[in-house]
Amino acid sequence: MSFRRSEGQGSRLKSSGFSRLKLIYEDEDIIVVDKPAGLLTMATEKERRKTAYAFLYAYVKNKRPAEKIFIVHRLDREASGLLVFAKTQSAKRRLQDQFKDHSATRMYVAVVEGRVPQDLCRIESYLAENAAHRAYSSKDRTKAKLAVTHIRVLRRFRQTTLIEARLESGRKHQIRAHLSERGHPIVGDRDYGSQINRLHRLALHAVNLNFKHPETGKLLQFESPYPDSFRFS
């Protein structure tokens, strides 16, 4: 199978109705996009139309012949960065298997409150979800799942720290919960205790996404620079 780079690679999906959703890569089996902050990955009870999935569904449906789209993983609404979607059920299954066995890797950059003292640290806990749909560390392993986050400090400011976070597992709100419990909530994350919101958004961006192509097995690597606004003191 030969890869075809989308003619719209690196362009905005203007035809989708949401001009800030950026198309990074496309072939017969997958689509990689750069999601803006404020856009849901998939529908909720309150919002069904303004989602990355909905816009991509409209985009592939209008192709000739029409194609399908499947959700592989998610990114929080107020976070931004890289997402991969599948065009076939088999591609979806193979990609999700990579996320489950950790052969697919994801890297994030965030701005957190306070000055993180360690240059490198590993955070491990079992995360559960409460009635408000927020993640928290629990010793009850019957309702919690193992979550491991690796943190590297990129730059320290007077009141905040720019950090890099690598997921070894992929639990809901994992980075947000782990950093909050360490006393360093992500800037703009009111749900997890942030008192600073200079950026008027969640200061979390998915900068790197690596996985093997679900059909060819070729390693694919994608990068998305974090916003310039993250570099503040």
Assess whether pLDDT exceeds 70 at residue 17.
no
Burial of 73 from C-beta contacts in 10 A (0-12 / 13-18 / 19+)? middle
17: left (phi over 0), alpha (psi -120 to 50) or beta: left
2 falls in which pLDDT band (50, 70, 90)? very low
* Residue 214: cis peptide before it, omega within 30 degrees of 0: no
pTM: 0.87
Choose the weakest-confidence range: 43-52, 67-76, 178-187.
Answer: 43-52
- In percent, the amount of the chain with pLDDT more than 90 equals 75
pLDDT of the residue at 49:
67
pLDDT of the residue at 141:
86
Residue 97: active-site member: no
- For 11-225, CATH number? 3.30.2350.10
Domains of the chain by residue range? 11-225
Paired tokens of 230:
């993250």
Single-letter residue type at 155: R
- In percent, the amount of the chain with pLDDT more than 70 equals 88
DSSP string, the chain: ------TTTTEE-GGGT-TTPEEEEE-SSEEEEEEPTT-BSS--SS-SSSBHHHHHHHHHHTSSS----EE-----TT-EEEEEEESSHHHHHHHHHHHHTT-SEEEEEEEEES----SEEEEEEEEEE-TTS-EEE-S-TTT-EEEEEEEEEEEE-SSEEEEEEEESS--TTHHHHHHHHTT-PBTT-GGGT----TTSS--EEEEEEEEE-TTT--EEEEE-PPPGGG---
Catalytic residue among 29, 34, 76, 191: 76
How far, in Å, are 5, 50, 74, 87 from residue 213 at the CA level? Answer: 14, 28, 18, 12
Name the residue among 32, 31, 28, 33 with its Cα closest to residue 3.
28
